[in-house]
Amino acid sequence: MKNWARRDSSVAWLFLAPSVAGFALFYLIPFGMGVFYSFMDRTVGGQYVGLQNYRELMAGESFRKAATNTFYFSVVSVPLLIVLSLGLALLLNRGLYGQKWLRTAYVLPLVVPVASIILVWQILFDWNGALNAWLSGFGLARVDWMKTEAARNVIMTMYVWKNIGYNVILFLAGLQQIPKDYYETAQLEGAGRLRQFRSITLVYLTSTMFFVVIMSVINSFKVFRETYLIAGPYPHDSIYMLQHFMNNMFLSLDLPKMTAASTLMVGGILLIVLGLFAMERRYRRYME
């Protein structure tokens, strides 16, 4: 058995070797080099400057604004996305009319090219766009959506619209794994819908919820592409994110500050994920 297990492990590592090599070559090694450059004054022939790049980042107004906007965006949009996607999943799980068509509609934002999505949103939220035309038709004042504080709401709406279908599918898969006998027993014992949701649905959705939250947090840090295409490299201050800051540092060839900013962002994401892991373990222990 030991020889078989050793041989099986060797075969597994043999098949994994190309993927591991590619991951190391295109992700791990470049990230390690980026962390190294964040402690240098320049990338070619540079000298070690310690935490100077990080101190300059923290003292810079642009970085602080980008970090604050990114944090605010994640804190507001991720819970909103979770609540809406879970609510829609609960409705679809009850067998609504046209359920298959609704599932298809929620998946469409995932398969439509980004350029097409941006074109539609530009038509909607431009100064002369469809939404302002509707507002004018009702006698309301036009709104310059992408050059005012409303730009943040537009990007949040786009983020929720684009990612809600993926979360709904995951929640539906988790809901369909919960035995219906548990709900029938709870009803016989007099438990209301809120008690059933708290004591049965949320308990059995713990693993799914954990995965959905992590993916939603990660996706909240990936809104740069849509924001850049719809608002450009220097958007309104309310939607100036960390990715905008790093992109502008790259265009100005200030690579040490760019790598320092990316290292801080990765560290922030890592802290959030570790915190979620700790919360999930404590919740499991509490439920046990």
* pLDDT tens digits, one per residue of 53-92: 898 888 888 888 988 999 999 999 999 999 999 988 888 8
Helix ranges restricted to H, 94-199: 99-111, 114-125, 130-137, 150-175, 180-188, 193-196
Contact 41, 47 (CB under 8 A): yes
Sketch the domain layout of the chain as residue ranges: 53-287
- Write down the pTM of the prediction: 0.82
Q: What is the pLDDT of residues 174-215, one digit of tens each?
A: 888 888 887 878 788 777 778 878 778 888 888 888 889 988
**What is the reported pLDDT for 82?**
93
Planar angle of CA 114, 117, 119, nearest 5 degrees: 110
Distance of alpha carbon 264 from alpha carbon 58, whole angstroms: 10
Q: How many C-beta neighbours within 10 Å does residue 122 have?
A: 14
Residue 196 CA neighbour count, 13 Å, CB half: 18
DSSP string for 154-169: HHHHHHHHHHHHHHHH
| 215/78 Cα distance (integer angstroms) | 10
- pLDDT band at residue 1, thresholds of 50, 70 and 90? low
The CATH class that applies to domain 53-287 reads mainly alpha
* DSSP percent split of the chain into helix, strand, coil, nearest 5: 80, 0, 20
Residue 103 has a CB neighbour count (10 Å cut-off) of 15
Query: Burial level of 106, CB count in 10 A (0-12/13-18/19+)?
Result: buried
Neighbours of 89 (CB within 10 A): 25
* Average predicted confidence (pLDDT) for the chain: 83
